[in-house]
């Protein structure tokens, strides 16, 4: 069996792929002394025209026009509203005079919030006559969360048209059954009293 060396043209193609030339036709490997071929190839691939990691994180935290997108409404039940500012909150929650309103405060980066979201939407399907509101935390509406006394995330408020804010509670997966029970009792017209409020 005779050994045949690879064709020169295929070797050149492989070499050019691994060590691309600059605009003048100079091999970039030759211009970077002291670096291995792999370090040089890595440095070339990391110099992509995309934004740096720090810039992307800064834009994510502080919000840039490219990253600020309206919240997705796809796949949500029809009685779920997404509110991102005080004016919309007043319109959807404060101006509701006929139906009970259940509000979920959450953050997109919060694992517990992500875990409870499908259960919150299932609850919305179970109670079609209740208005459900999603309020994501952001830099723009942080004052809204603080002003409403949101202690932790995920958190819920329940408003009754005749009584205003009637319930404040945590809304983790463990608290969903209690949340649904409180909604059910309010929809049926019952009112729960705390132990110290009960009359003997």
Question: pLDDT tens digits, residue range 58-116?
Answer: 666 666 544 444 455 678 999 999 999 999 999 999 999 999 999 999 999 999 999 99
- Predicted TM-score (pTM) of the model is 0.61
In a domain, residue 145? The reply is: yes
How far is residue 1's CA from residue 83's CA, in Å, rounded to a whole number?
Answer: 75
Is residue 196 one of the residues assigned to a domain? no
Domain that holds residue 147: 80-188
Q: Which one, of 117, 131, 137, 194, lies nearest residue 159 by Cα? A: 131
pLDDT of residue 143: 87
Domain count, the chain: 1
Domain of 84, CATH number, reads 3.40.30.10
Residue 17 lies in a domain: no
| Residue percentage of the chain with pLDDT more than 70 | 61
């Amino acid at each position: 069996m005779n050994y045949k060396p690879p064709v020169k043209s295929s070797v050149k193609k492989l070499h050019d792929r691994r060590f691309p030339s600059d605009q003048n036709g100079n091999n970039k490997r030759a211009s970077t002394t002291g670096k291995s071929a792999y370090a040089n190839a890595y440095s070339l691939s990391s110099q992509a025209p995309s934004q740096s990691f720090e810039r992307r994180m800064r834009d994510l935290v502080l919000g840039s026009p490219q990253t600020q997108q309206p919240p997705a409404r796809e796949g949500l039940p029809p009685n779920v509203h997404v509110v991102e500012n005080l004016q919309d909150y007043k319109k959807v929650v404060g101006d509701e005079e006929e139906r009970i309103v259940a509000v979920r405060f959450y953050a997109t980066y919060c694992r517990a919030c992500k875990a409870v979201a499908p259960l919150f939407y299932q609850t919305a399907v179970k109670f079609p006559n209740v208005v459900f509101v999603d309020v994501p935390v952001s830099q723009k509406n942080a004052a809204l969360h603080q002003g409403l006394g949101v202690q932790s995330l995920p958190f819920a408020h329940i408003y009754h048209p005749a009584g205003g804010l009637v319930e404040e509670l945590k809304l983790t997966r463990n608290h969903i059954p209690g949340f649904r029970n409180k909604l059910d009792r309010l929809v049926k017209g019952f009112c729960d009293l705390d132990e110290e409020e009960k009359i003997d």
